[in-house]
Amino acid sequence: MTDLFRRRLARHYDELKWLYIELYRDEGAFRYFTEMLERCWKGRKKALRDQDARREADPDWYRRRDLLGMMLYVDAFAGNLRGVREKLSYLEECGVNYLHLMPLLASPKGRSDGGYAVSDFRAVQPELGTMDDLEALADACRRAGISLCLDFVMNHTSEDHEWAKKARAKEPGYQERYFFYDNWDLPREFERTVPQVFPTTAPGSFTQLEDGRIVMTNFYPYQWDLNYANPMVFNDMTENLLFLANRGIDVIRLDAIPYIWKELGTNCRNLPQVHTLARMLRMVCEIVCPSVLLLGEVVMEPAKVAPYFGTPEKPECHMLYNVTTMATTWHTLATGDASLLKRQMEAVCALPRDFLFLNYLRCHDDIGWGLDYPWLARNFGIDEVAHKRYLNDWFTGKFPGSCARGELYNDDPRLGDARLCGTTASLCGLEAAEYEQDPFKLERALACDLTLHAWMLSQSGIPVIYSGDETGRLNDYTYHDDPDRREDSRYLHRGKFQWELAELRQDPETCQGRLFQGLRRLEALRAQEPCFDAGADVWVEDSGDRRALALCRRSGERELVCLFNFSGEFVRAGVDRTGSYTELMYNTKYHDIHSVELWPNGFAWLLRDPGQL
């Protein structure tokens, strides 16, 4: 077994050492680093080593078209980790084989930022269970063919972390793990160039402690930024990552990775050293745990996140989020105009096929309106601040004619830069329709919800559903009564899983049954159809109506044309093709598809009949 480790290490040794020494200039720290890697390798149990071997033999295992993700909060879904294990049959019924558990490591109650202020990377929040419970769940998921994903908060620790406590007590070697200053001279220099993350709820990038010292806190005052210029920080955080991998975690989500390297006079975002660290982490995984994937949390447009994939010769992250397409999708729904989304997809389709994105409609976080405003201004005369105000008014139901229901997060009236919260179903109008008991609006809302999920499933990459969306979960307003949560409107869509609604998932007469069964049919069609392969050709075409988007996919002799109507009106749209097509969802035949009638907020998956290409 040691020989296998040494062969894997030898394959990367020269590059790994060169990068490490170039960054840290410390031979002793590198020697400790490689010894730590071997120690972690020896601690990897047989079931995980067997999985490593299988996945090494099938390196594209995570690019299969039948992969379907779901993200959930353990407490909201099933109370604790044992509860999730008991509910695995439900997840299997949903078709889920990639499960992202939202932050669950130890963090202080009331000062956790939703679990992103970690006080111990090797302990679970007590109310959720123990590390043994997490490992048992990982084992059960592996047996069920489900890959488990967990957040790894790289940029900072909680102020309650052991390192932070020792730094506060001025123990030797621990202040150097953070950014400590005796006065405001350097912090003020940093703040000249570093953008604020939360300007309204946590302004500034530094916090003054009771004794007068100042510590860097880019996110919240209780989250202390780690100093990755210190090799011991990188060594120990890498060991923490491998500890989780050895518990059976298959996918490590590198939270806030663009922020992890700080340098005076810069914006402290996306610096070259970040990519050095990401590349080293990729090699670490290939040496110690080659079945483990790295998912980069990089919130930028696809062309700008691309560097985090690295190169074919020197890869970094295995996967990244397609966050801009998500935000542009909601913009498109509010405007009924697919022009910007078409431009967005042209950029995505132009990227190498090896780049794998996670696609989603909703997640645990807010929706930020990071759109291409220069292009919108040039082509439509749209003003950024006014447009953000329109989008937020639309999705909070303030704009005339809107049935969407959401709330704002981090509202900054001066800049018009609020973000949006709400479940997919409520933002699609299901909440308003049920409240008004309006059957017409109900049909429109259900159609909208299903169409948006069809759009997500049509994109290349791994589709990820937010838990509860499969049965149309509505906004949960009870967070307003919780003193620990009332100031964070993101809890609007982080509510308890409604098992009473899930019980209706097989009843086609209910909204829950219609959404669940419709989504399952879409997922099954995707898994069966070769046009959804990761290696398929994908492009967008002119649909003939800017309210509709035409996405085309081709694999060998098979071609699929996906049409989406983002408006609340009947639309005729299509592409310039001859020949017969079958609409997959409803099995309808078409003899040409240059002018297909789409229902309001409707879609069509049109597969060219065999022998027609």
For residue 198, give the CATH number of its domain: 3.90.400.10
Please identify which of the residues 297, 316, 407, 449 carries the catalytic annotation: 297
Query: Residue 577 maps to which CATH number?
Result: 2.60.40.1180
Residue 451: inside a domain: no
Q: Which of 209, 225, 241 is the last residue of a domain?
A: 225
- How far apart CA 52 and CA 170 sit, in angstroms, is 42
Q: What is the pLDDT of residue 275?
A: 97
Cα separations in angstroms, 477 against 72, 127, 492: 18, 23, 6
Band of pLDDT at residue 153, cut at 50, 70 and 90: very high
Residue 266: inside a domain: no
Q: Which of 178, 204, 225 is the last residue of a domain?
A: 225
Rounded to 5 degrees, φ, ψ at 227 are -100, 95
| pTM for the structure as a whole | 0.95
Give the pair of three-digit tokens for residue 87: 């509910």
Q: How far is CA 234 from the centre of its chain?
A: 24
DSSP summary character for residue 100: E
Residue 212: inside a domain: yes
**Cβ–Cβ < 8 Å for 508, 442:** no
Q: Which of 185, 204, 225 is the last residue of a domain?
A: 225
DSSP summary character for residue 415: T
Q: What is the pLDDT of residue 1?
A: 55
pLDDT tens digits, 108-129: 988 888 899 999 999 999 999 9
Band of pLDDT at residue 316, cut at 50, 70 and 90: very high
Domain that residue 179 falls in: 156-225
Around Cβ 374, how many Cβ atoms within 10 Å?
Answer: 10
Looking at the predicted structure, is the pLDDT value of residue 202 above 90? no
Give me the percent of the chain exceeding a pLDDT of 70: 98
**469 catalytic residue (yes or no):** no
Residue 100: inside a domain: no
pLDDT tens digits, 7-37: 999 999 999 999 999 999 999 999 999 999 9
Looking at the predicted structure, is the pLDDT value of residue 224 above 60? yes
Looking at the predicted structure, is the pLDDT value of residue 191 above 80? yes
Q: Give the long-range contacts of residues 499-508, CB within 8 A, separation 24 or more.
A: 501/471, 501/472, 501/473, 502/90, 502/471, 504/471, 505/470, 505/471
pLDDT tens digits, 485-506: 888 899 999 999 999 999 999 9
Handedness of CA 521, 524, 526, 529 (dihedral sign): negative
Q: What is the pLDDT of residue 44?
A: 97
Total structural domains within the chain = 2
Mean of the per-residue pLDDT values of the chain: 95
Q: What is the pLDDT of residue 414?
A: 67
Residue 34: inside a domain: no
Look up residue 402 and give its amino acid. Answer: S
Looking at the predicted structure, is the pLDDT value of residue 613 above 60? no
Looking at the predicted structure, is the pLDDT value of residue 212 above 90? yes
Radius of gyration of the chain (CA): 24
Q: What is the pLDDT of residue 415?
A: 65
| Residue whose token pair is 């997640």 | 363
**533 catalytic residue (yes or no):** no
Looking at the predicted structure, is the pLDDT value of residue 611 above 70? no
Residue 583: inside a domain: yes
Q: What is the pLDDT of residue 229?
A: 98
Residue 140: inside a domain: no
Determine the average pLDDT of the residues in 602-607: 98
Q: What is the pLDDT of residue 612?
A: 58
Look up residue 272 and give its amino acid. Answer: P
Please identify which of the residues 159, 225, 255, 407 carries the catalytic annotation: 255
Q: What is the pLDDT of residue 610?
A: 82
- How far apart CA 184 and CA 571 sit, in angstroms, is 60
